[in-house]
Amino acid sequence: MTPLAFVLSYFVILNMLTLGLFWWDKRCAIQRRWRLPESTLLTLCLIGGSLGAKAGQGIFRHKTRKEPFRTSLNAIAVLHVGFLAALVLPEFRASVVHLVSQISTQIMG
């Protein structure tokens, strides 16, 4: 698996998981059942699931008024956009590709 395929797979799976957990947490809220801690949802966002979280927030109208969750999620999304913008810089992009290549080689063997 190439480093790019590894990274794309990671982000697609993580964002689908995050979106699904937003749906599940919304269902639990409606049914007044046990729910996921906000720290769990924010951690998933921080490690790359912010797109799925923002989609889940909009689609399911979940956690749209809850502070400081909303502000934290928006800050993480801005951080991710800034990181993606930094990838446009050639030197930074080369170091990130090298790092991802090393990590994927260690994980995949």
- The string of DSSP letters for 72-94 reads HHHHHHHHHHHHHHHTTSHHHHH
Of residues 34, 105, 28, 39, the one with CA closest to residue 72: 39
Helices assigned H by DSSP within the chain: 3-30, 38-44, 50-59, 69-86, 90-108
Q: What's the domain count of the chain? A: 1
pLDDT at 17: 97
Using one digit for the tens of pLDDT, what is the confidence trace for 24-77?
A: 999 999 999 999 999 999 999 999 999 999 999 999 998 888 899 999 999 999
- Structural domain boundaries, residue 71: 3-108
Q: Reply yes or no on whether the pLDDT at 10 is more than 90.
A: yes
Residue type, 31: Q
